[in-house]
Structure 1
């Protein structure tokens, strides 16, 4: 005779906890897409902030030259040379070459030329230039205006 208290000998189904491989792959794919978009945006921001630092450095140098001109009535010193200009913020020299050209008693032109990766990433704006009248210009390969780049 069979006992009424007989236990069911079927194996109990073990419920699995966790995620399937497909779910994990979907999550990894979403993270990869978001990080690609974020990295590109970050790179554009870095290029733009370096360009802004170069523009600020040029403006700072223009102010120093104007102060010199106010004191000496010329952009040249008594020996006919332009005044020495202090370097701008640390780290800018790695990304921009700053130069002073076309210096005369009443004129000058300052230029910030991008170097290396900055030149490649910022080909649209290229070099930033400003003269004694405060006229800003760019030398980029594309049709960028000074208002866009400065």
Structure 2
């Protein structure tokens, strides 16, 4: 990708923020929640403890394997729903702007760098696994952009869409 192509795609991001700031804000909000869903897959006991807290029960210290499997499945379902919401928001933004926009720079700066820096500043230590989980919104942004651009161009822009219709390059 050349600098001109990158600048053209960043222009799409600026246009998306200008035309539909609420949807872009909702997409950014799902990026902030996404690492919590990924960490819940790694620690299903937190999900079970959260369910206990929500039901007003005392939080358990020990968990059965059945409770941990239930927590893992719950976290997996929530993460899948977040992925569907992100895909839908990305598609809606593309339709509203009538052009593909590159969201991964926003995801890597806001979540990958800023959120990880805030974690380091508040806790005082660097957690490698946590930092990698902090970059998962970047991966989801890239994934949904690839899905929309390569597999779903006709779905996003309608039956008259042709490859490279909205790109100058």
Fold equivalence (TM over 0.5): no
Q: Give the alignment's TM-score, normalised by structure 2.
A: 0.30
Q: Give the alignment's TM-score, normalised by structure 1.
A: 0.32
Pick the structure with more strand per residue: 1
Higher RCO (CA 8 Å, separation ≥ 6 residues): 2
Pick the structure with more helix per residue: 2
